[in-house]
């Protein structure tokens, strides 16, 4: 039995589980606008990072999308639940252990950008 498939799976695992710090997805409905965007960036204030979601009106039907973004070892889970038609989309972030987010979720209108901020959990 060959170990190549198992070795290959471990080598490819980071690429399959993480999209890096930036992600663009979907095809804009009119073809002239950009696709929706997710971006994980560092903060300059007391926070650790911010997740920015730019909502665009895309082709296709409404469904739930889940992503994992990584910035210098900080992994955040992101869930976007499409609104029907031009309704706002629900955007939420699941922080890694040792962090919390504010707000936990928000609704982002079409052609708008929402921001969720990641903070280190206070030590007790």
pLDDT values of the chain reduced to their tens digit, one per residue, 124 residues: 444 333 333 333 333 334 555 555 554 555 555 678 888 889 887 899 999 998 877 666 667 888 888 888 888 999 999 877 778 899 999 999 999 999 999 999 988 999 999 999 987 5
- Taking alpha carbons only, the member of 110, 58, 55, 44 closest to residue 78 is 55
Specify whether the CB–CB gap between 41 and 50 falls below 8 A.
yes
pTM of the model: 0.74
Q: Judge contact between 38 and 78, C-beta under 8 A.
A: yes
Rounded distance, CA 23 to CA 37, Å?
Answer: 6
């Amino acid at each position: 039995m060959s170990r190549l498939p198992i070795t290959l799976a471990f080598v490819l695992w980071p690429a399959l589980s993480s999209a890096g710090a930036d992600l663009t997805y979907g095809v804009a409905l009119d073809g002239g606008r950009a696709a929706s965007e997710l971006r994980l960036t560092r903060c300059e204030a007391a926070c650790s990072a911010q997740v920015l979601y730019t909502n665009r009106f895309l082709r296709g039907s409404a469904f739930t999308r889940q992503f994992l973004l990584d910035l210098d070892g900080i992994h955040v889970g992101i869930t976007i639940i499409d609104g029907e038609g031009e309704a706002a989309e629900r955007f939420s972030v699941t922080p890694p252990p040792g962090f919390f987010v504010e707000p936990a979720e928000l609704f982002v209108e079409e052609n708008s950008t929402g921001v969720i901020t990641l903070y280190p959990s206070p030590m007790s």
